Amino acid sequence: MRSELQRLFADPPPGSAIARARDYGIDLTQLARNLSLSPEQRFAKADQALDMARELRSMREQAKH
């Protein structure tokens, strides 16, 4: 399935939503990379991003004082 996704993102069918997104200027590499991960890996990645956002918010609040 991974190679099918890679081919689909590298050469999307004309008129498809993926082709329209690419033509609009959306970088599909990040989407393809995320779809190659398992749901558990994607969840862990999102959880790490949330932790980072919370840490940055805390640092911003500390800097205000």
Of the candidates 34, 7, 31, 6, the one whose C-alpha atom is nearest the C-alpha of residue 21 is 31
> Is residue 22 within 8 Å of residue 28, measured between CB atoms?
yes
Predicted confidence (pLDDT) per residue in 1-16, tens digit: 567 878 888 889 999 9
Predicted confidence (pLDDT) per residue in 2-61, tens digit: 678 788 888 899 999 999 999 999 988 888 888 889 999 999 999 999 999 999 999 999
Q: pTM here?
A: 0.62
For residue 35, the model assigns a pLDDT of: 84
Tell me the residue range of the domain where 58 lies: 2-64
Total domain count, the chain: 1
